[in-house]
Amino acid sequence: MKSLRAYAFAYLAFLYLPVLFLPLFSFNNSHFIAFPLSGFTLEWYRQLFADDAMLHALGNSLEVGAVTALLATLLGLMAAKAVTQYRLRGVGAMLGFISLPLFIPDIVLGLSLLLLLGVIGFPLSLAGVVLGHLTLCIPFAITVLIARFEGFDRNLEEVSADLGEGPWMTFWRVSFPLILPGIAASLLLTFITSFDEFLLAYFLSGTEATLPVYIWGQLRFPERLPMVLALGALILVASVALVILAEWARNRGVEKKSIGA
């Protein structure tokens, strides 16, 4: 249907266009984020990379993101394996409960975690941010990995055992390579989630800022806006690249499945 097709493309434009203004104006030679355009410049990018505070926050974000991704994926792996292998009862309810943080408004989550850390005497720091991000990222990791495990032919492990391999080697030689695309996807997606996350980091980070918190702090200074746009543009490009990579990894596994199944 022609009109539906036109609608679909218009919808896609609505999704993407507003965000595309960020990179557009990051190259604009003007302090004002307005039309008409004033010529091309890389000044804002230059300023960006000269900003120590920004670079420091970037480092923090990378650190938090990496740690969160690793821990979430590891815990997700264990959970996914337990769920699919042992057919535990009440799995649905447990998964629903674990996914709860995705449904609670982030401010409520942030504040309750803030309270918790205060009560147990945990200092407000990047470690606290990691804890907060884990509550958001673990459900993602579990979802991706369970999907991977379900598509996994149980017979393959049995064949390996039948041919003489012990449990550890079976895992290393058979299970692990087949699950690897799922692990890669989980790592990438949880990293992006953590990297982009603002509110929990805002409440839980104390004096060390992550990149989104840093951006938030800059928003009240109009003269710094173009630089923030430059930063935003770079983050967008990186996120998109990582997502495409993650989707590729997740679906590459699907084709491979036909060899095993």
Question: Would you say the C-alpha torsion 246, 199, 133, 229 has a positive or negative sign?
Answer: positive
Shortest CB 72 distance to another protein, Å: 11
Contact 160, 174 (CB under 8 A): yes
- Reduce the DSSP state of residue 106 to 3 states and report it: helix
Q: Does 105 bind another protein (CB under 8 A)?
A: yes
Give residues with Cβ within 8 angstroms of 176, minimum separation 6: none
CA distance 10 to 98: 37
Q: Which of residues 29-58 bind another protein (CB under 8 A)?
A: 32-36
Stretch that binds another protein, among 48-56, 153-161, 176-184, 227-235 (CB under 8 A): 227-235
Instruction: Please identify, among the stretches 146-154, 159-167, 174-182, 189-197, the one whose residues bind another protein according to the rule CB under 8 A.
Output: 189-197
CA distances in angstroms from 109 to 115, 130, 141, listed in the order given: 10, 14, 19
Question: Residues 66, 74, 98, 161: which binds another protein (CB under 8 A)?
Answer: 98
Q: Does residue 174 bind another protein (CB under 8 A)? A: no
Count of chain residues binding another protein (CB under 8 A): 68
> At its nearest, how many Å lie between another protein and the CB of residue 227?
13
C-beta of residue 229 within 8 angstroms of C-beta of residue 33? yes
Residues with Cβ < 8 Å from 31, sequence gap 6 or more? Answer: 222, 223, 225, 226
Q: Is residue 94 within the footprint of another protein (CB under 8 A)?
A: yes
**Residues in touch with another protein (CB under 8 A):** 1, 4-5, 7-8, 11-12, 14-16, 18-19, 21-22, 25, 32-36, 75, 79, 94, 97-98, 100-109, 111-116, 118-119, 135, 138, 189, 192-193, 195-196, 198-199, 212, 215-216, 219, 225, 228-229, 232, 235-236, 239-240, 242-244, 247
